[in-house]
Structure 1
Amino acid sequence: MAGRKAPPHVRVLVVLGVLALCLPGGVGRADAVSGRPAEAVRSLAEAHPDWTAAPAPPARTRPGAGGTEARSFFYLEGEPGTVLHDSLALTNEGDEPRTFRLRGADADNAGGGGFAVRKEGDSRGAGTWTALAEKTVEVPPRTRAEVPLSVTVPDSAVPGDHPAALVVDDGERKVGVRMYLRVSGPTLAALSVEDVTVREAGDGAATIGYTLVNRGNVVLRPRLAVRADGLFGPLVRQPARALPVELLPGRRVTRHERWPRPPAVDVADVRLTVTAEAGARDTAAVSYTAVPWKWALGVLLVLAGGGVAWYVRRRRRTPAAGAGPRQPRTRRQAPTTGAAE
């Protein structure tokens, strides 16, 4: 026996329920970079054209010793309790003397994973282990000055990477010379990707948000692969590519990837896979439901309006329950007048 059709108002509620099930999931938590506020510093390539700051070249490669090797960053390694030594070279190629102010600072990740340093007075790690022979140095024109420095590794220092930087300030701009300091001992490369979200960008595109977390004790350079599969097949196949991030131990950064052509109507499984050195790897996924809301709203309004109109019309044409049969209406005759014969 065929089932009875549901009343129109019930069907309208069903349509609303189905559309509600198609709503995208809530937006995940987007964490900012953890830790104290940091400040951005220029790299060596962005330094003033009249001066440069860099690690002093090794003695065997200095002029007259043969070779032209140059270093763009410091790399030091030692056990807890040791003292490491190196030198900073300041070169003034201009015609006027320059005064430089120097300090050590903990490295940090700025928003999106860029390189930054702790503000003055906020360092608690390798930046405080660094001591410079001079904190203020005046360099004559067309002269290079070398400033000795030492890094004292505390007895309580844990193994792994302790990134830092030497900040050089000439009063107009600041340059950060990176220092990769490793304390000898066991190392662990551990990386996770969290809080994956997909949201519409408003211009027909979508934005994939995610948070990278370095859970190990070494600096990581993550690579990201993106894959999306819809109900009718693959949507995105982006192979692993290097991200412009040096993720420091214990840090987390939030990034966004643009999805230029997401589906108009589909339910997609978006999967992110991140990898890094020493086998670090993690995968996270999120479901993304694409619904053309303007079109769906128009259809919903038409269905709702038509259903209500049809229901009201039927109610008017159906007699109330328990009412007897309607009596035919008779035409009332007009009274006659006149005298009887």
Structure 2
Amino acid sequence: MSRAIPHPTSRTTLRSRALGTVRRARLIIVPTVVLTSVALTSVALTAPAGAAPADEGAAAASAEAGAGASVTWTISPATAEGPDPRVSLRHGIDPGTAATDHVAVTNFSPQAVTFDVYASDGTVTEDGAFDLVPPGEPQTDGSGSWIEIGAIENAAPRDGGGITLEIAPESTVVLPVTITVPGEATPGDHPAGIVAELAQSPDGEVQMVSRVGVRAHLRVTGDLAPTLEPVVDEIRWSPSWNPFAAGTLTVTYTVANTGNVRLGSGETVEQAGVLGTGRSSVAETHDEILPRQSVVTTVAPRTWPTFRTTGTLTVVPTTVGADEIPGDLPQAQVTYSAWTLPWSQLAAIVLLVGGLLLRRRVRRRRDLAVEARIKEAVEAATSTSSDRDEERARG
């Protein structure tokens, strides 16, 4: 089905890839936003006037196009009648069964546009944002293959899965979605999503691939195991050359989600020197760590050189969004230690002691020289007195 809808007032940038020469921006999974983009025939990327973010969380992406035509579209959760207020697709499904849903793809442009619509696995980028694995890259879980985009009139199968369809100007097309969970699927969260991508033209050496996606929260029923496992990977001591300043103990650690549900993470690194001296701490958070994935973090708390520093990394898991996880979320903790030798302080002590010894030696030599001159003067005076006494005795 299709229907006309009003033009949007906000726009946002999603992931882009230039074919041939790769240029990529993050794919933002926000179903209620739209994207403006144009096809590329050269490597140059330029932002047009007025492409600044319209509101918080929104940004604009554009590129120089041969024809200069602007394309704007979005994808969102829907019912069979059209887009609905949901922010994502959320289903709890038994192994070996299926669930149905819908997504709506809207073309806000004044011309007909062809789109590729397909599903992919979910992942979290290094900066903590949820993303969908691009075509041609290794999938993270395989749950994207559980999602089938239903066939509709005037749509053609897409290589690699999904469909390709042309949408009339200022129209919305609702697509049926079937999620089939294999019988051997493991319990827990299996992140995925559905992408609406501007179909690529075979003309031109380099083209921009722009995508907008809607997230699918898929949870296979069964026992849930919320588990985060921390590991300290590297510790590096960097003393300050100022003997009156603290140094830096750089700690790199990994927090792996070894359970089967997505979790947030609050991490605290606490450390102290010998006898509890020089205490310091630093805290970090991660909004989302997906099952079978991990995050690497580096912290550098100021540390006083107390010869030996011992620390503790504590990880406190948290639920994400509207997720429900029965029972307590177990904390995890790991300890570490490192030599934090006071090199600058030792050097300062050596210089101080050396300076005192040198000063003492110089003073001693000066005192000896004075004593020697006094002795010579006394001997000279004694010798003169003796000579005079002898002369008097002779006279």
Q: Same fold (TM over 0.5)?
A: yes
Q: Match of 1:249, as an amino acid?
A: P
Render the CA deviation track for 1:182-202: whole Å, top value 9, x for unaligned: 111111111110125332579
Distance 1:40 1:235, change over 3 A: farther
Matched, 1:193 2:221: no
Distance 1:96 1:299, change over 3 A: farther
Distance 1:102 1:279, change over 3 A: same
Structure 2 CA distance for aligned equivalents of residues 86 and 154 of structure 1 = 18
- Aligned twin of 1:20: none
- Aligned twin of 1:101: 116
Alignment of 1:211-250 (within 5 A): 211-231=254-274, 232-233=276-277, 235-238=279-282, 242-244=285-287, 246-250=288-292
Render the CA deviation track for 1:63-106: whole Å, top value 9, x for unaligned: 8xxxxx62222111111121211111222223333322122112
Offset of residue 237 of structure 1? 4.2
Q: Is the 8 A contact 1:196 1:286 kept in 2?
A: no
Matched residues, number: 260
Distance 1:146 1:257, change over 3 A: farther
- Aligned twin of 2:373: none
- Aligned twin of 2:6: none
Match of 1:208 among 230, 251, 268: 251
Q: Match of 2:231, as an amino acid?
A: E
Match of 2:294 among 243, 252, 270: 252
Render the CA deviation track for 1:35-62: whole Å, top value 9, x for unaligned: xxxx974113585243222212586xx6
- Aligned twin of 1:44: 29
Distance 1:118 1:187, change over 3 A: same
Q: Is the 8 A contact 2:237 2:250 kept in 1?
A: yes
Q: Is the 8 A contact 1:40 1:117 kept in 2?
A: no
Render the CA deviation track for 1:114-155: whole Å, top value 9, x for unaligned: 434334253362111111125113223322222211111111
Q: Match of 2:100, as an amino acid?
A: H
Of the structure 1 ranges 41-50 and 158-167, higher mean CA displacement relative to structure 2 is found in: 41-50
Match of 1:291 among 320, 341, 350: 341
Matched, 1:118 2:133: yes
Q: Is the 8 A contact 2:148 2:179 kept in 1?
A: yes
SS in 1 for 2:111: coil
Structure 1 CA distance for aligned equivalents of residues 307 and 167 of structure 2 = 65
- Aligned twin of 2:315: 274
Match of 1:165 among 184, 193, 205: 193
Distance 1:44 1:228, change over 3 A: same
Matched, 1:129 2:146: yes
Of the structure 1 ranges 159-168 and 135-144, higher mean CA displacement relative to structure 2 is found in: 135-144
Q: Is the 8 A contact 1:43 1:176 kept in 2?
A: yes
Structure 1 length as normaliser, TM-score? 0.64
Unaligned stretches of 5+ in structure 1?
1-38, 64-68, 307-341
Q: Match of 1:126, as an amino acid?
A: S
Render the CA deviation track for 1:285-308: whole Å, top value 9, x for unaligned: 21133334456468779999x9xx
SS in 2 for 1:199: strand
Unaligned stretches of 5+ in structure 2?
1-23, 37-71, 156-162, 199-207, 241-246, 319-327, 358-395
Structure 2 CA distance for aligned equivalents of residues 202 and 209 of structure 1 = 17
Structure 2 CA distance for aligned equivalents of residues 207 and 47 of structure 1 = 42
Q: Match of 2:196, as an amino acid?
A: V
Q: Higher relative CO (CA 8 A, sep ≥ 6), structure 1 or 2?
A: 1
Structure 2 CA distance for aligned equivalents of residues 92 and 140 of structure 1 = 7
Structure 2 CA distance for aligned equivalents of residues 274 and 233 of structure 1 = 24
Q: Is the 8 A contact 1:44 1:52 kept in 2?
A: no
Structure 2 length as normaliser, TM-score? 0.56
Structure 2 CA distance for aligned equivalents of residues 43 and 56 of structure 1 = 19
Of the structure 1 ranges 92-101 and 179-188, higher mean CA displacement relative to structure 2 is found in: 92-101
Matched, 1:55 2:63: no
Matched, 1:83 2:136: no
Aligned-pair RMSD on alpha carbons? Answer: 3.5
Structure 2 CA distance for aligned equivalents of residues 233 and 57 of structure 1 = 62
SS in 1 for 2:289: coil
